[in-house]
Chain A
Amino acid sequence: MTRKQKRLSVIVGGLAILGLAAGLVLYALRDTIVFFYTPSEISEKNVLPGTRLRLGGLVEEGSISRTGGTTVSFVVTDTIKTLNVSYTGQLPDLFREGQGVVAEGVLDASGGFIADTVLAKHDENYMPKDVADKLKEKGVWQEGKGAGP
């Protein structure tokens, strides 16, 4: 191989790798991202059952019930709409009534939400930023005071 051919083969090989990587990234970004919604947005956007999404809001006071065994159900609210969530497993330490929560999972056919992950921020001033932003948009969050009716 001449000098030029060698250089060309290195460049072409490099571009091929980068091209493949770019293709993978684009494909993955289309198929693996998960959208973040509040209960109101879910009803507005007619999200199809089975779509994977993140649900954010507040855990409604008095809504947590342990139906025996390891399944827990609770209601997530953005103070406008609510959604029933059921989750099998351990809740995070900081999961509390009246506090913010982020759950990841799918909507079932009857309009409930089956969560496989429930997230808590590692902070005692417990309000995930995602939730706070959404609640601010909905006008139920006051700066400095937290969520209020």
Chain B
Amino acid sequence: MIAEIGHFALILALAVAAFQTLVPLIGAERGNRQMIASAVPATLIQLVLVYVAFAALTHAYLISDFSVRNVFENSHSAKPLLYKISGVWGNHEGSMLLWVFILASFGGAVAIFGDNLPPTLKARVLAVQGSIGFAFLLFIVVASNPFARLIPVPIEGNGLNPVLQDPALAFHPPFLYAGYVGLSVAFSFAIAALIEGKVDAAWARWVRPWTLAAWMFLTIGISMGSWWAYYELGWGGWWFWDPVENASFMPWLVATALLHSAIVVEKRNALKVWTVLLSILAFSLSLLGTFLVRSGVLTSVHAFAVDPERGIFILGILCFFIGGALTLFAWRAPALKAGGFFSPISREGGLVLNNLFLCAACAAVLIGTLYPLALETVTGEKISVGPPYFNLTFGPIMLPLLLLVPLGAQLSWKRADLFAALQRLWAAAALAVSLGVLVLIATERGPWLAPFGMALGAWLIFGSLADLAQRIALFRSPLAASLSRLVGLPRSSLGMTCAHAGLGLMIIGIIAITLWKVEHIVAMKPGERADVGDYTVQFVGETPLTGENYTGRAGQFRIFRGETEIASVVSEKREFKPMGTPTTEVGLHQALAGDVYVVMGDKTADGARVVRLYFNPLVSLIWLGALIMFFGGALSLTDRRYRVGAPKRKLTPAGVPAE
């Protein structure tokens, strides 16, 4: 019964989404206030209906209602509660429902918090949101109904893919989707602005917080995925340039560019056309990511759908929105007047460079991801484009950008003095270079990237801190005065410092694990020892293992530094009910200096275990850096400008009408 309510709510939501798309759009065109005002209630009703559907499916999972086909195929009564909940989106139909759930939430947030938007703009934004919701609801209702019943009712379900039964992965999809779908708001704003023919500083100020929120979710979602890959897959790596990873990384790159270019629109009323285009591209890449991941064209853990019809449906949605948006852009963008002018060496110039590099890097990733698909379609030849390609393209494109980050933050608007900016950064530069020299001495004859990469990370961290120190006049005024300045500083500027410093930490982590990782594969019998990095690992022995929905063997390992035991870890081989699917759990000892990573493998002929040992230096900095970037985003989001009704269009005479 409850499943039918969910199904019915979905169909109603589809109808409401159609209304939400058409009526406000026509109303805004004709200046009909009633029709314009209908946008908000329509959005909220759609939101409630989608929530009801989502709750109905969650309910079916919680009570293990195997008469619902989706639950039967993806759940099992012996599964722990957390994975019953995460099972809701651990499959094709449920994940599409989650997509629409988050889309409706963002629409609702615009409806509720968008009080200060001009009514016509708000109506159009909500209408575009509604149209996206309509497309995906139609997809769910027509081609991926999560509430389909099964007769006769099976007694037990098939269970969730065991590698997905993991806490980090339980929450990776909601965060990632919140990022993907959050970019739809920037998209809707861009389309609404194109229809209105008006982009100004106020528009940028409305778009920025939404983009920022989406960017934060993407950051955290991608790093959760990478963290999962690191300790669950047991390959000792944290990023594999897998097409599915790239699919989430590309929107992140463009969203980062968009965050920066929107600042230029807001502060200088320039780069307007470009920013609108970026808003469209960012969400287009989200759609592309959804298509790549969900259509089954890629072989991966994410490819639930093997039904080609579904792939074609998503491809249709993709073509409609990207094609439609770009057509509208080509038609209307020339009407947006160019804004203030600036010298190449200025804050604006720096941000343009940032955008160029980020977009070029994104294009390189896009080509590397799509080229194998294109080649296979055209010639039938199968190839794989792996890490060597991305190291050779993405790396060199990003390096100059990273070098310029602290410098760009020092430049003033309109026209800047490069020499003065460099002068303000001398201390940071000196610290970074000395770190590089230290590394060079310590790792004599090592790869050049090691000292360079470490110096680069330090340059980002110290450069951001130097900027902060100047703003609060640290050491140049009494400490109390500096502290009170720190508190009074705009949150967005603190956020920038955090985000850039977090990026620096991440670079250090990435360079360290890439260049200094120690890998050691040995056959070990109980009692035997092996060295990895500065540590010694002893295989104690194995014991049988019984979990809630699996059985297996647990290998005990003790980790020594010199002769002192510092930790003991367990690496497990599990077999999951009901299929007996095997998985391996990594034994992980984490420390800031580096992780000791132990994977117990198969038995050899003489009864030993093949054991893979890694020492991954400084690897935690990657996720710590991501967390700090996320925190920086959150700080920015609380900036006063976004709260106190500041974005009032009538206060900004800079607005340039199209006509």
Chain B interface, number of residues (Cβ within 8 angstroms)? 52
Contact of B522 with A122 in the complex, beta carbons under 8 Å: no
Question: In the assembled complex, how far is the CB of residue A29 from the closest CB belonging to chain B, in whole angstroms?
Answer: 6
| In the complex with contacts A89-B612, A91-B601, A130-B299, A36-B383 CB distance below 8 A | yes
A94 touches B582 (CB 8 A): yes
C-alpha gap A36/B343 in the complex (Å): 50
Q: Please report the C-alpha to C-alpha distance between residue A20 and residue B361 in the assembled complex, in whole angstroms.
A: 11
**Cβ of A44 < 8 Å from any Cβ of B?**
no
**B521 contacts which of A88, A123, A130 (Cβ < 8 Å)?**
A88
Q: Return the chain A residue nearest B382 by Cβ.
A: A36
Chain A residues near B62: list those with CB within 8 A: none
Q: Does B480 touch A at the CB level, under 8 Å?
A: no
CB < 8 Å: which of A18, A68, A93, A129 contacts B584?
A: A93
In the complex, chain A residues whose CB is within 8 Å of the CB of B357: 17
A2 to B139 alpha-carbon distance, docked (Å): 54
Q: Give the contacting residue for A17; candidates B356, B381, B386, B579; CB below 8 A.
A: B356
Question: Is B389 positioned at the interface, with any CB of A under 8 Å from its CB?
Answer: yes
CB within 8 Å of A: which of B40-98?
none
Least CB distance from A63 to B in Å reads: 15
Chain B residues lying within 8 Å of A130, measured Cβ to Cβ, are 299, 382
Question: Which residues in window 559-616 of B have CB below 8 A to A?
Answer: 573, 579, 581-584, 599, 601-602, 604-606, 610, 612
Given contacts A13-B344, A25-B367, A122-B301, contact A68 B396 (CB under 8 A): no
Question: Is the pair A121, B397 in contact by a Cβ cutoff of 8 Å?
Answer: no
Report A21 CB to chain B, min CB distance, Å: 4
Which B residues are in CB contact (< 8 Å) with A31? 388, 392
Assess A21 versus B341: contact at CB under 8 Å? Given A91-B601, A124-B579.
no
Chain A residues lying within 8 Å of B364, measured Cβ to Cβ, are 21, 24-25
In the docked arrangement, what's the CA distance between A25 and B386, Å? 13
CB distance from A117 to the nearest CB of B (A): 9
Task: Please tell me if the beta carbons of A18 and B360 are within 8 angstroms of each other in the complex.
Answer: yes
User: Cβ of A93 and Cβ of B582 under 8 Å apart?
Assistant: yes
Q: Does B163 contact A (CB under 8 A)?
A: yes
> A80 near B: Cβ within 8 Å?
no
CB-based contact A66/B604 at 8 Å: yes
Cα–Cα, bound, A9→B610 (Å):
60
Q: Is the CB of A69 within 8 A of B389?
A: no
Are the C-beta atoms of A69 and B523 separated by less than 8 Å?
yes
A84 to chain B, nearest CB (A): 18
B385 at the interface (CB under 8 A from A): yes
Q: Is B522's CB under 8 angstroms from A54's CB?
A: no
Q: Which among A20, A29, A89, A104 is the interface contact of B389 at CB below 8 angstroms?
A: A29
Q: Is the CB of B356 within 8 A of A18?
A: yes
Residue of A nearest to B397 (CB): A21
- Kindly list chain A residues whose C-beta atoms are within 8 Å of the C-beta of B493: none
Candidates B382, B389, B610; contact of A35 at CB < 8 Å: B382
Answer whether residue B546 sits at the interface, using C-beta atoms and an 8 A cutoff.
Answer: no
B602, A90: Cβ atoms under 8 Å?
yes
CB of A55 to closest CB in B, whole Å = 11
A138 to chain B, nearest CB (A): 13
* CB closest chain-A residue, reference B579: A124
Residue among B343, B381, B389, B605 making CB contact with A6, cutoff 8 Å:
B343
In the assembled complex, A33 has its CB within 8 A of some CB on chain B: yes
Q: How far is the CA of A5 from the CA of B257 in the complex (A)?
A: 25
Inter-subunit contact B385/A33 (CB<8 Å): yes
Interchain CB contact under 8 A, B299 and A89: no
Question: Could you say which interface size class chain A belongs to?
Answer: 35 or more
Q: Contacts of B38 on A, CB cut-off 8 Å?
A: none
A122 CB contacts on chain B under 8 angstroms: 161, 163, 300-301
0/1 per residue, B360-371, Cβ < 8 Å to A? 110110011001
Bound together, the chains give a CA A70 to CA B161 distance in angstroms of 29
With both beta carbons as reference points, the residue of chain B lying nearest to A54 in the complex is identified as B384
B352 on the A face (CB < 8 A): yes
In this assembly, does B393 line the interface, its C-beta being within 8 Å of a C-beta of chain A?
yes
A129 neighbours in B (Cβ, 8 Å): 299
Expressed in whole angstroms, the minimum distance between the Cβ of B90 and any Cβ of chain A is 12
Q: Is the CB of A34 within 8 A of B605?
A: no
Q: Considering the chains assembled together, what is the distance between the CA atoms of A33 and B4 in angstroms?
A: 50
Q: Which residues in A have their C-beta under 8 angstroms from that of B397? A: 20-21, 24
Q: Chain A contacts of B300 at CB under 8 A?
A: 121-122
Q: Chain B residues near A124: list those with CB within 8 A.
A: 161, 579, 581
B299 touches A32 (CB 8 A): no
A109 interfacial contact with B, CB 8 Å: no
Select from chain A the residue with minimum beta-carbon distance to B605. Answer: A66
A3: nearest chain-B partner, CB-CB: B341
Confirm or deny: A39 has a beta carbon within 8 angstroms of a beta carbon on chain B.
no
Least CB distance, B33 to chain A, in whole angstroms: 43
Give the docked Cα–Cα distance between A68 and B604 (Å).
6
Q: A70-B523, A90-B599 are in contact. Are A34 and B383 (CB under 8 A)?
A: yes
Chain A proximity mask over B103-129: 1 for CB below 8 Å, otherwise 0: 000000000000000000000000000
Out of A10, A28, A69, name the residue touching B393 (CB < 8 Å).
Answer: A28
- Contact A32 B521, CB 8 Å, known A13-B344, A70-B610: no
Query: A93-B582, A123-B161, A124-B579 given as contacts; is B522 within 8 A of A34 (CB)?
Result: no
- B602/A91 in contact, CB under 8 A: yes
Counting CB contacts under 8 A, is B173 at the interface?
no
Q: Does B161 contact A33, Cβ atoms closer than 8 Å?
A: no
A-B contact pairs, 7 of them (CB 8 A): A33-B384, A34-B383, A68-B606, A70-B521, A88-B521, A90-B599, A121-B299
Interface residues, chain A, with chain B CB atoms under 8 Å away: 1, 3, 6, 9-10, 13-14, 17-18, 20-21, 24-25, 27-29, 31-36, 54, 66-70, 88-91, 93-94, 104, 121-124, 128-130, 133-134
Listed from nearest, the 10 A-B pairs whose CB atoms lie closest are A36-B382, A90-B601, A21-B360, A32-B388, A122-B301, A32-B389, A28-B392, A129-B299, A93-B582, A33-B383
